[in-house]
Chain A
């Protein structure tokens, strides 16, 4: 019997092992099976087309019991690939079965459409086990905590003595500066609050109480600005923050509490006001600008016309870009025995977040990885990438830094956007679940488990503000942002949504990261308003974050377990995490456990049924079998104590408005 040739009769599901084995990203050279089922009975023959950036291959597919399939070896080179099926109906026009809008299911058309994604990553790609299981806390060092000493004031004087303009906020609660303050009419971030490394060290017990296992510090090297992305001296701590000894002591104190420190590595450019460029002659040795070719650093930079016309980051004249091909630069920053990277790691850092990783060439990123890992395999290399890191194209080339040669992790801004879209009602739960599945299927597992899952950063509006105001801060001028008032009602709503948002953040694969002050309910639009001094907002959620941190840290399944995502209704998102067999996905010993997370964003109660046995895209057959074998029958919420029953994999959830649950399934 034949049926019409419709999408419904030609089945490919990239999340189902019947059609793709294994599901998700695959290791280079590994065996792979791709298939589709023909329910129409009309397809005479089919070919698989597989393509990368500049190549394409095709394979004959064999037909057996209505299933067209082909086994192949993944390419030896890690790469983002795509595939589609070319169909020959025998007596009709050729057809294509390519990816639908979700990228997961097949869509039939008369031409080759979007392919299904297939990520091939390096077979030896490993990321530090500790990192995927921890909780991160991001600190903008000037704004987190003062200490009782005169360190910051002395540091400010140091900068003034060099000729720099420095404003010191005597009052910690003052608003940040944002008005134009330079001769060219722009705002320059020269106002300091005097937070120090010692201040951070003093607050380690607080961070420990939040369950934090790693602190990510925005730049701490000497620089002219308060954000310090304009590095003046790579090897020294900015005197306002303290000394190199303070940094070493901070790392040691933190390590005693089980907390590591990672630093911000700003390597694509330096400050113009720096030891290396020395545009203003503030440093004694000649820099590239004031010393020309006589300077040891001249070749670090690209002068189109010396000295005024030089390549700089996004045309900011105070941020001259470096020439990463320059051996001397590579030696100084990365490869030398006492390179900047190795030096800070030896001082106690456990890795780097690489600023504007997109703007560092892949070979340089690979060298940075090698350097970091040469000090310790446990060191982390995390990249600032705003988009999907596997298919990112920058400067005309598809980047490969997420496939095992360079980055352990990236800043998961896409997750942030997806969560905000959901919790501000721009998208429904199905879109969020589809997004989460997309990351599961397309990111290399070692990177996936290490994603830096942030809700805010120094470059975005704070999550409370985003959820309370429900508008895109980028549409506002700086003046409008400065004058924007979040009403009490909005803040109340924002706090309610932030609780749910954090519950999801802490339970999806990856490393949840708290941007300092988010836990206390701080508000803030874009830079510089998101960089205010640490303080308590109107509706702090500190205890909530501490509880989430404790639950996550106590249960391996929440950090390292298999994951599946469900949307049993437009307002309800469910996440299943579990470990069976006492080891995680990477073979590391881990405690068994199964958890169902459910959130209801609605202001009304919601009744939902989650089907743990059927709606589990993202799980492998073995994972699902292991889960079903245990056949959990009940669950108890670790947040509220509420109980649920599970019958044949079906969970009936009566969710109160704004409810968040983490059910332990037994």
Chain B
């Protein structure tokens, strides 16, 4: 994950699930890496994983070159907001885990992450990915850890196309789908047969991710205005009221 205190953030490629005698492993291919390192002002700066060498004809030359270009674009912000947000949130997630010395169980004691429901919510699937795939925790433990160290300070409920997320982090997109599937199970229990009602609370709709609902489902508590409770988060409020802080 790290190279001299930097966080490695991976972009794109493909992620395949491989079941072995040792459990589920994720096999990645074709992804690009960027090293995230905080600068003097605390902002994340990107570095290429390997410096590109002119005239280098090794097979990974193209990848290294692409990583150089990616790092440059990230640092000059010459990339979509989603890409930039993913880089920063993934770096934040890696840093949070690093601060616990990879003892994921200690994470809730060390960090409380506030999520606003915008692109910053991308930290949630990335944290889940790290806990599941890097720390090799169970789904239940991973979800609990994230729940215990995150608060959704709801300011917005941004929707993002799932393919756009999948292009950045295919594994992250798959995990969002998994969270949505489990949520739909809860909704099915609450509103059996009522597909519209279920849909009104789901994270994924027409291949779009509602990051607000993703945050509400994955964060341990939700602090939001009553307009959101009565609006986009209405169904989740009725299904999991314990997460929602009572209005003062």
B230 at the interface (CB under 8 A from A): yes
**Inter-chain contact B195/A650, CB cutoff 8 Å:** no
**Inter-chain contact B194/A105, CB cutoff 8 Å:** yes
Q: Which residues of B contact A607 (CB under 8 A)?
A: 241-242
B197 at the interface (CB under 8 A from A): yes
Complex CA distance for A648 and B230, rounded to whole angstroms: 6
**Inter-chain contact B237/A609, CB cutoff 8 Å:** yes
Give the contacts of B178-237 with A (CB-CB under 8 A). Answer: 189-190, 192-200, 226, 229-230, 234-235, 237
**Inter-chain contact A8/B195, CB cutoff 8 Å:** yes
A492 at the interface (CB under 8 A from B): no
**B192, B226, B237 pick with most chain A CB within 10 angstroms:** B192
Known contacts A648-B230, A649-B230; A568/B238 CB under 8 A: yes
Complex CA distance for A434 and B189, rounded to whole angstroms: 13
**Inter-chain contact B234/A650, CB cutoff 8 Å:** yes
B17 at the interface (CB under 8 A from A): no
Complex CA distance for A271 and B246, rounded to whole angstroms: 66
Q: Which residues of A contact B230 (CB under 8 A)?
A: 647-650
Q: Within the complex, what minimum Cβ distance (angstroms) separates B218 from chain A?
A: 19
**Inter-chain contact A647/B226, CB cutoff 8 Å:** yes
Q: Which residues of A contact B22 (CB under 8 A)?
A: none
Q: Which residues of B contact A608 (CB under 8 A)?
A: 241
Q: Which residues of B contact A100 (CB under 8 A)?
A: 192-193
**Inter-chain contact B193/A104, CB cutoff 8 Å:** yes
Q: Which residue of B lies closest to A645 (CB)?
A: B247
Q: Which residue of B lies closest to A610 (CB)?
A: B238
The 0/1 profile, CB within 8 Å of B marked 1, for residues 75-118 of chain A is 00000000000000000000000001110110100000000000
Q: Which residues of B contact A105 (CB under 8 A)?
A: 192-195
Q: Which residues of B contact A647 (CB under 8 A)?
A: 226, 229-230, 247
Q: Count contacts on B: residues with CB < 8 A to the other chain.
A: 22
Complex CA distance for A8 and B188, rounded to whole angstroms: 11
A224 at the interface (CB under 8 A from B): no
**Inter-chain contact A430/B192, CB cutoff 8 Å:** yes
Task: Report which of B193, B195, B234 forms a contact with A611, defined as CB distance below 8 A.
Answer: B234
A630 at the interface (CB under 8 A from B): no
**Inter-chain contact A611/B196, CB cutoff 8 Å:** no
**Inter-chain contact A13/B194, CB cutoff 8 Å:** yes
Q: Within the complex, what minimum Cβ distance (angstroms) separates A80 from chain B?
A: 22
Q: Which residues of A contact B196 (CB under 8 A)?
A: 11, 13
Complex CA distance for A618 and B229, rounded to whole angstroms: 24
A7 at the interface (CB under 8 A from B): yes
**Inter-chain contact B195/A614, CB cutoff 8 Å:** no
Q: Which residue of A lies closest to B196 (CB)?
A: A11
Q: Which residues of A contact B241 (CB under 8 A)?
A: 568, 607-609, 652
Task: Report which of A102, A614, A652 forms a contact with B197, defined as CB distance below 8 A.
Answer: A614
Q: Within the complex, what minimum Cβ distance (angstroms) separates B52 from chain A?
A: 43
Q: Within the complex, what minimum Cβ distance (angstroms) separates A661 from chain B?
A: 16
The 0/1 profile, CB within 8 Å of B marked 1, for residues 590-624 of chain A is 00000000000000000111110011000000000
Complex CA distance for A542 and B101, rounded to whole angstroms: 64
Q: Within the complex, what minimum Cβ distance (angstroms) separates B205 from chain A?
A: 12
Complex CA distance for A648 and B226, rounded to whole angstroms: 9
**Inter-chain contact B238/A609, CB cutoff 8 Å:** yes
**A568, A608, A649, A650 pick with most chain B CB within 10 angstroms:** A650
**Inter-chain contact A650/B237, CB cutoff 8 Å:** yes
**B196, B234, B237, B238 pick with most chain A CB within 10 angstroms:** B238
Q: Within the complex, what minimum Cβ distance (angstroms) separates A98 from chain B?
A: 12
**Inter-chain contact A615/B195, CB cutoff 8 Å:** no
Complex CA distance for A614 and B235, rounded to whole angstroms: 9
Q: Within the complex, what minimum Cβ distance (angstroms) separates A598 from chain B?
A: 13
Q: Within the complex, what minimum Cβ distance (angstroms) separates B243 from chain A?
A: 10
Give the contacts of A362-395 with B (CB-CB under 8 A). Answer: none
Q: Within the complex, what minimum Cβ distance (angstroms) separates A391 from chain B?
A: 20
Q: Which residues of A contact B226 (CB under 8 A)?
A: 647-648
Q: Which residue of A lies closest to B193 (CB)?
A: A105
Q: Which residues of A contact B190 (CB under 8 A)?
A: 430
Known contacts A647-B229, A650-B229, A650-B230; A102/B192 CB under 8 A: yes
Q: Which residues of A contact B195 (CB under 8 A)?
A: 7-9, 11, 105
The 0/1 profile, CB within 8 Å of B marked 1, for residues 620-636 of chain A is 00000000000000000
Q: Which residues of A contact B200 (CB under 8 A)?
A: 614
Q: Within the complex, what minimum Cβ distance (angstroms) separates A101 from chain B?
A: 8
Complex CA distance for A439 and B234, rounded to whole angstroms: 28
Complex CA distance for A13 and B192, rounded to whole angstroms: 12
**Inter-chain contact A615/B238, CB cutoff 8 Å:** yes
Complex CA distance for A608 and B237, rounded to whole angstroms: 9
Complex CA distance for A647 and B227, rounded to whole angstroms: 9
Q: Which residue of A lies closest to B198 (CB)?
A: A8
Complex CA distance for A614 and B198, rounded to whole angstroms: 12
**A607, A609, A647, A652 pick with most chain B CB within 10 angstroms:** A609
Q: Within the complex, what minimum Cβ distance (angstroms) separates B189 from chain A?
A: 8
Complex CA distance for A586 and B100, rounded to whole angstroms: 67
Complex CA distance for A13 and B230, rounded to whole angstroms: 23
Q: Within the complex, what minimum Cβ distance (angstroms) separates B117 from chain A?
A: 19
Q: Which residues of A contact B194 (CB under 8 A)?
A: 13, 105
**B192, B200, B234, B241 pick with most chain A CB within 10 angstroms:** B241
**Inter-chain contact B238/A611, CB cutoff 8 Å:** yes
Complex CA distance for A568 and B197, rounded to whole angstroms: 13
The 0/1 profile, CB within 8 Å of B marked 1, for residues 644-660 of chain A is 00011110100000000
Complex CA distance for A101 and B229, rounded to whole angstroms: 31
Q: Which residues of A contact B189 (CB under 8 A)?
A: 430
Q: Within the complex, what minimum Cβ distance (angstroms) separates A227 from chain B?
A: 43
Q: Within the complex, what minimum Cβ distance (angstroms) separates B154 from chain A?
A: 15
Q: Which residue of A lies closest to B197 (CB)?
A: A614
Complex CA distance for A648 and B237, rounded to whole angstroms: 13
Q: Within the complex, what minimum Cβ distance (angstroms) separates A181 from chain B?
A: 51
Q: Which residues of B contact A107 (CB under 8 A)?
A: 193
Complex CA distance for A374 and B247, rounded to whole angstroms: 60
Complex CA distance for A607 and B242, rounded to whole angstroms: 7
Complex CA distance for A610 and B241, rounded to whole angstroms: 10
Complex CA distance for A105 and B191, rounded to whole angstroms: 11
Q: Which residues of B contact A652 (CB under 8 A)?
A: 241, 246
Q: Which residue of A lies closest to B191 (CB)?
A: A615
Q: Within the complex, what minimum Cβ distance (angstroms) separates B38 from chain A?
A: 41
**B193, B237, B242 pick with most chain A CB within 10 angstroms:** B193
Complex CA distance for A102 and B191, rounded to whole angstroms: 11
Q: Which residues of A contact B193 (CB under 8 A)?
A: 100-102, 104-105, 107
Q: Within the complex, what minimum Cβ distance (angstroms) separates B176 from chain A?
A: 19
Complex CA distance for A7 and B188, rounded to whole angstroms: 13
Q: Which residue of A lies closest to B199 (CB)?
A: A8
Q: Within the complex, what minimum Cβ distance (angstroms) separates A426 from chain B?
A: 17
Complex CA distance for A607 and B244, rounded to whole angstroms: 11
Complex CA distance for A434 and B192, rounded to whole angstroms: 10
Q: Which residues of B contact A430 (CB under 8 A)?
A: 189-190, 192
Q: Which residues of A contact B199 (CB under 8 A)?
A: 8
CB-based closest 7 A-B pairs: A105-B193, A648-B230, A609-B241, A8-B195, A609-B238, A100-B193, A611-B238
| 14 examples of A-B residue contacts, CB within 8 angstroms | A11-B195, A101-B193, A105-B193, A105-B194, A105-B195, A607-B241, A607-B242, A609-B238, A609-B241, A610-B238, A611-B234, A614-B235, A648-B226, A650-B230
Interfacial residues, chain B to chain A (CB-CB below 8 A): 189-190, 192-200, 226, 229-230, 234-235, 237-238, 241-242, 246-247
A647-B226, A650-B229 are known; give 4 further A-B pairs, CB within 8 A: A101-B192, A101-B193, A614-B235, A648-B230
